[in-house]
């Protein structure tokens, strides 16, 4: 297999049948020598497995300490209804060998869903291989996916199997499939239809047994309408579509995800960070997360690196997250009165600026006098009271009186 053959051939004979032809080699196969080799090999394998098991147990214990409310598997968080529905659909489609198209914004967790499909399928024991189609030029991508024969092009000094062959019996993730050129789209379509590949520089086809999962952050239907993406390939990939919602649409997942990512970062950096401070957690919920899960992961890694104590404080978060204002939205078919939404937003802005009316007015792009009149109508007299009691606390006391 190392030299590119599809199979290895074994020949078995008795010692007498081998005769003197392999006498020099056969001396290594004496029972005592063989047992010694096997004992050493088995000991190494056993120790490796034990070490891996210990590491896994430690990893899980550390994560559970931080993310107690996260269900198994620990790296698949689905607390929000929309995400729970997606995970359920992914597990159901994993049981059959259909091609899956995973769509969603960049950084939303498409590869994690692809791995979930693989892990829940009958191919879980096989390899999972991911390739970013947008990061490789067309000529190199063909060789990367299908392999090449010796002498097929300059630098091809030996036969080399491609990723389709490497993923035999497992799953191949074609990430950013929307970036594939029209020429490669034709070759991909043929491979998906015929279940066979042809290495660059060869004239014979090779059968492959691979489940293909494609992922993209593009609207492929729009690409089909514009002629940039083949319609037949689009429908061949979209046997089942799994759409991963952006993080801003699944607020219930933000804190559980943050705790899992915090635990992972703390383990990598060997730091004893066990929790998020309440004000830091509140600010994570206010932020819109344009970079989705990837941005949250980077924020948690930064927080772990900068944290002074055993928990992440507000000051440890990136500035854009610390400065985030809550964005009120209509939910469950209800629409709140405009003056109520305005009042809540102004009070949140004032609290973020520690009661400083001048800065708050400048950020809201209104005059200081206008802000003062609004605060007076809310029952808040001056910034000192707002700072002393807390904006929301003062508002609550004003409304109760």
Nearby residues of 337 by Cβ (< 8 Å), 6 or more positions away: none
Q: How confident is the model at residue 321, as a pLDDT?
A: 92
Residues 382 and 271 in one domain: no
**Alpha helices per DSSP H over 238-316:** 254-269, 278-286, 292-306
Nearest in space to 245 (alpha carbons), one of 57, 126, 103? 103
- Is 67 within the bounds of a domain? no
Q: Establish if 369 belongs to a structural domain.
A: yes
Backbone angles phi, psi at 208, to 5 degrees: -130, 145
Tokens of 48: 């490796």
Q: Same structural domain for residues 261 and 210?
A: no
Q: Do both 122 and 144 map to the same domain? A: yes
How many Cβ atoms from other residues are within 10 Å of residue 179's Cβ? 17
In a domain, 236, yes or no: yes
53 inside domain: no
Last residue of a domain, one of 290, 322, 354: 322
Specify the CATH number for the domain of residue 198: 3.40.50.300
Instruction: Mark whether 98 and 234 lie in a shared domain.
Output: yes
- pTM confidence score: 0.69
Regarding whether 279 and 239 lie in a shared domain, the answer is no
Contact 212, 187 (CB under 8 A): no
Question: What pLDDT sits at residue 242?
Answer: 96
Residue 181 and residue 241 share a domain: yes
Q: Let me know whether 300 and 344 are in one domain.
A: no
Three-point CA angle 73, 79, 85, nearest 5°: 85
Residue 154 lies inside a defined structural domain of this protein: yes
Whether residue 115 is found in the same domain as residue 259: no
Where in the sequence is the domain holding 370, given as residue range(s)? 338-400
Q: Which residues contact 250 (CB under 8 A, 6 or more apart)?
A: 79, 80, 82, 83
Residues 225 and 279 in one domain: no
Residues 315, 216 share a domain: no
Tell me 52's DSSP state: H
Among 196, 224, 247, residue at a domain's last position = 247
Domain tally, the chain: 3
285 and 380 fall within a common domain:
no
User: What pLDDT, on a 0 to 100 scale, did the predictor assign at position 195?
Assistant: 92
Decide if 327 is inside a domain: no
Is residue 40 domain-resident? no
Query: 118 and 260: one domain?
Result: no
Give me the residues of the chain with pLDDT under 50, please.
69, 71-74, 331, 382-401
Helix axis angle, 338-352 to 391-400, nearest 10°:
140
| CA atoms of 114 and 102, how far apart (whole Å) | 8
Neighbours of 219 (CB within 10 A): 13
- Domain C-terminal end among 247, 275, 293: 247
* DSSP secondary structure letter of residue 132: E
**237 in any annotated domain:** yes
- pLDDT reported for residue 23: 67
291 token code pair: 């970079």
Phi-psi region of 155 (alpha: psi -120 to 50; beta: other; left: phi over 0): left
pLDDT at 399: 38
């Amino acid at each position: 297999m190392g030299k590119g053959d599809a199979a290895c051939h074994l020949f078995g004979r008795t010692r007498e049948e081998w005769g003197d032809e392999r006498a020099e080699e056969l001396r290594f196969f004496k029972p005592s020598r063989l047992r010694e080799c096997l004992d050493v090999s088995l000991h190494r394998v056993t120790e490796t497995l034990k070490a891996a098991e210990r590491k896994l147990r430690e990893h899980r214990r550390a994560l559970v300490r931080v993310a107690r409310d996260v269900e198994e598997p620990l790296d698949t968080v689905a607390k929000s209804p929309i995400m729970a529905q997606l995970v359920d659909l992914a597990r159901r489609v994993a049981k059959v060998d259909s091609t899956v198209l995973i769509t969603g914004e960049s950084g939303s967790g498409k590869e994690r869903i692809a791995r979930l499909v693989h892990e829940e399928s009958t191919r879980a024991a096989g390899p999972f291989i991911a390739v970013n189609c947008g990061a490789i030029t067309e000529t190199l991508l063909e060789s990367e996916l299908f392999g090449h024969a010796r002498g097929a092009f300059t630098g091809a000094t030996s036969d080399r199997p491609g990723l389709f062959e490497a993923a035999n019996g497992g799953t191949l993730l074609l990430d950013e499939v929307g970036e594939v050129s029209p020429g490669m789209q034709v070759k991909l379509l043929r491979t998906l239809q015929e279940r066979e590949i042809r290495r660059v520089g060869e004239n014979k086809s090779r059968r492959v047994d691979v489940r293909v999962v494609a992922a993209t952050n593009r609207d492929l239907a729009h690409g089909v309408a514009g002629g940039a993406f083949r319609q037949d390939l689009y429908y061949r990939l979209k046997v089942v579509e799994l759409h991963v919602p952006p993080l801003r649409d699944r607020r219930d997942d933000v804190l559980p995800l943050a705790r899992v990512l915090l635990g992972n970062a703390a383990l990598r950096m060997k730091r004893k960070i066990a929790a998020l401070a309440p004000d830091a957690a509140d600010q994570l919920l206010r932020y819109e997360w344009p970079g989705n899960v990837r941005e949250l992961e980077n924020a948690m890694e930064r927080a772990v690196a900068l944290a002074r104590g055993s928990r992440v404080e507000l000051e440890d978060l990136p500035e854009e997250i610390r400065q985030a204002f809550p964005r009120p939205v209509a939910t469950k078919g209800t629409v709140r009165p405009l003056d109520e939404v305005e009042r809540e937003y102004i009070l949140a802005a004032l609290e973020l600026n520690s009661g400083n009316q001048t800065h708050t007015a400048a950020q809201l792009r209104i005059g200081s006098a206008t802000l003062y009149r609004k605060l007076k109508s809310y029952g808040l007299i001056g910034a000192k009271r707002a700072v002393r009691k807390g904006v929301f606390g003062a508002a609550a006391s004003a409304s109760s009186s």
